[in-house]
Structure 1
Amino acid sequence: MSEQSWLSEIPQLDRHQLLEIRKTLDGAYRAFSREYGDAIEAVFDPLLSFLIWFEKLLLGTPWWLVIAVLAGLAYAASRSWKLTLGVVVAFFLIGFFGMWDNTMRTMSIILVSTFVAIGLGIPIGIAMARSNRVQSFVTPLLDIMQTMPAFVYLIPVVMLLGIGKIPGVIAVVIYAIPPVIRLTNLGIRLVDKEVLEAATAYGASPTQRLFGVQLPLAMPNIMAGINQTIMMALAMVVIASMIGVKGLGQPVLKSITNQYFTLGLLNGLAIVALAIIFDRVSQSYAKRTQQHLGGHDHG
């Protein structure tokens, strides 16, 4: 009873006031999306064109050629025959079980989203590492992006841009970009001050120090961030399918609503296979670059 009376003491907005505030905010956002929606969509047109072209390229290329290219890239990154063979077997099984087209669609959106996230994330991470003020501004935003349920930020994106590929890419990028920003910032900040002082003593400019010293030494951290970003982008595939992104997520969604256990399981396993392949390849590439740097330093 005492708790009840204590709660009743707190002044609360009545239901009518709350409704008015919500109506005002909703109305303002709708007006904004009507006014500027087309202009914002036009900004993303080049990205949409590229995404459609890339998807068509993956779907139109013969399966054996796609597998050969992926195996070649896996070997170039990892120098591991076992991993390369694993990539070939995994993609062959994906095709064998009839999930090839959906996997190619998923790969196109994941790769484009990851490149966008890296292209935006690394410069933001560098800016954070160079300025404490930028860091104190960006860190709370990253906290919000990482803790906000994905469904919540799908709402404004869909209201503004409708349903389709671009809202999907934006949702995936928002969800997946924090690790690459955080780990780029961390990696650069962890670079030994004495190394930087030595570079300055040799007459290196701030830009030369960044590209010649800080980024190469921060590369293991940056690669770990990129790896996490790819994993989070893949985790977002099923949620992105809810706003019309075609790929492996849609059969999983269909299997939830219609209780098709095998369909969901197979497509889920295909997403897992993609995740493992991307994870292993990017990790072994990171290890190789680290060894190369280590060897370079000793040399």
Structure 2
Amino acid sequence: MFDEFPQIDNGLLRDLKRAIDEGFRAFTRSYGDAIETMFDPLRHFLNWSEKLLTGTPWPIIILIAAGLAWFASRSARMVIGCVATLCLIGAFGMWDDMMKTISMILTSTLMAIAVGLPIGVLMSRSDRVQAVVNPVLDVMQTMPPFVYLIPVVMLLGIGKVPGLIAVVIYAIPPMIRLTNLGIRQVDGEVLEAADAFGSSRWQRLVKAELPLALPTIMAGINQTIMMALAMVVIASMIGVQGLGQPVLQAISNQYFTLGLFNGLAIVGIAIVFDRVSQAWGRRIQKHRGGHHV
């Protein structure tokens, strides 16, 4: 009775796909150069941060990492673990690739915060905005990562900036969602007290809502970093240098140990970022405790 599911006419579907593809190609030919120029500051910043990290002597990097771990956690165990992880990755000859990867992660995280934080705040202010943005975030989180690369490469070509844009698109949803969630969970009595003291909306946001939502926002930053690291290998397909490229080479040439060592290096960096950012979030929460307004 039901032999075959009814389908759209193949000719009509083919014409529709061709029209969309040709329209996007025409758009990239007309505006691709202008869009690429818009991202020049981002390219310069990424190149600067990469040169800074790769050009800084490794003992200084180790000391800075140890200082950040101690400031975040006040734990000697975490400092030792952080230093040991970085030293082990360097001892296996992956120091420069690690610095390039960290440069990409830090830049993409800063960009995700700069874009995601205001969107999250806007969502927390309006149920209508939340209803519009949430389906977009759902699509961004469920879309296969490889799909992000197609329009980015067509617009910007192959290189660091297209890879950075793809990483940010993939990693930004947790930042937006958890900023929105954190602000919405702020105690209403605290906001009433802020209003009673005559605070403007901006003052209430900066002095009450964001500080109280900071632990949740830090969790969003943590997840953004983890997702950015997960995207590093895929982004290496379009020219992003770092630990992802050797993994890609290992897949192409069946080099098991090359892929394993670089994969473990990515895991090590992820653990360091995760533990330090979580400890920092807990420290901020303790510091803010009791200072609501």
TM-score after normalising by structure 1: 0.95
* 2:2 aligned with 1:3: yes
Cα deviation for residue 36 of structure 1 reads: 0.5
Trace 1:191-202 onto structure 2 (pairs within 5 A). Answer: 191-202=186-197
Which moved further from structure 2: 63-72 or 224-233? Answer: 63-72
Cα deviation for residue 245 of structure 1 reads: 0.5
Aligned counterpart, 1:147: 142
Once the two structures are superposed, residues 140-196 of structure 1 have per-residue CA deviations (whole angstroms, 9 ceiling, x without a partner) of 110010000011121000001000101111100000000010000001001111111
Aligned counterpart, 2:226: 231
Cα deviation for residue 41 of structure 1 reads: 0.5
Aligned counterpart, 1:73: 68
Residue type matched to 1:196 in 2? L
* 2:102 aligned with 1:107: yes
> Take 1:161 and 1:296, find their aligned partners in 2: how far apart are those partners?
46
Cα deviation for residue 31 of structure 1 reads: 0.4
* 2:146 aligned with 1:165: no
Once the two structures are superposed, residues 249-269 of structure 1 have per-residue CA deviations (whole angstroms, 9 ceiling, x without a partner) of 011111111111111110001
Cα deviation for residue 296 of structure 1 reads: 4.2
> Take 1:13 and 1:88, find their aligned partners in 2: how far apart are those partners?
59
Name stretches of at least 5 consecutive residues in structure 2 with no aligned partner: none
> Take 1:295 and 1:130, find their aligned partners in 2: how far apart are those partners?
25
SS at match of 1:4: coil
Cα deviation for residue 133 of structure 1 reads: 1.5
Q: Out of 4, 13, 21, which is 2:8 matched to? A: 13
Q: Out of 251, 255, 276, which is 2:250 matched to? A: 255
Aligned counterpart, 1:291: 286
> Take 1:33 and 1:116, find their aligned partners in 2: how far apart are those partners?
24
Aligned counterpart, 1:241: 236
> Take 1:191 and 1:65, find their aligned partners in 2: how far apart are those partners?
40
> Take 1:168 and 1:28, find their aligned partners in 2: how far apart are those partners?
23
Aligned counterpart, 2:209: 214
| Moved segments of 4+, more than 3 Å | none
Aligned counterpart, 2:115: 120
Residues paired across the two proteins, number: 292
> Take 1:67 and 1:129, find their aligned partners in 2: how far apart are those partners?
39
Trace 1:85-104 onto structure 2 (pairs within 5 A). Answer: 85-104=80-99
Which moved further from structure 2: 275-284 or 60-69? Answer: 60-69
Q: Out of 6, 17, 24, which is 1:22 matched to? A: 17
Residue type matched to 1:122 in 2? L
Residue type matched to 2:107 in 1? V
What RMSD in Å do the two structures reach over aligned CA positions? 1.1
* 2:185 aligned with 1:186: no
Cα deviation for residue 295 of structure 1 reads: 5.0
SS at match of 1:291: helix
> Take 1:280 and 1:104, find their aligned partners in 2: how far apart are those partners?
19
Q: Out of 40, 45, 48, which is 1:45 matched to? A: 40
SS at match of 1:71: helix
Name stretches of at least 5 consecutive residues in structure 1 with no aligned partner: none
Which moved further from structure 2: 251-260 or 271-280? Answer: 251-260
Residue type matched to 1:159 in 2? M
Cα deviation for residue 88 of structure 1 reads: 1.1
> Take 2:59 and 2:190, find their aligned partners in 1: how far apart are those partners?
48
Residue type matched to 2:128 in 1? R
Once the two structures are superposed, residues 67-105 of structure 1 have per-residue CA deviations (whole angstroms, 9 ceiling, x without a partner) of 111111221222221111111111111111000111011
Cα deviation for residue 134 of structure 1 reads: 1.1
Residue type matched to 1:112 in 2? T
Residue type matched to 1:146 in 2? Q
Residue type matched to 2:50 in 1? E
Q: Out of 127, 152, 170, which is 1:175 matched to? A: 170
> Take 2:167 and 2:69, find their aligned partners in 1: how far apart are those partners?
24
Cα deviation for residue 231 of structure 1 reads: 0.4
> Take 2:68 and 2:145, find their aligned partners in 1: how far apart are those partners?
32
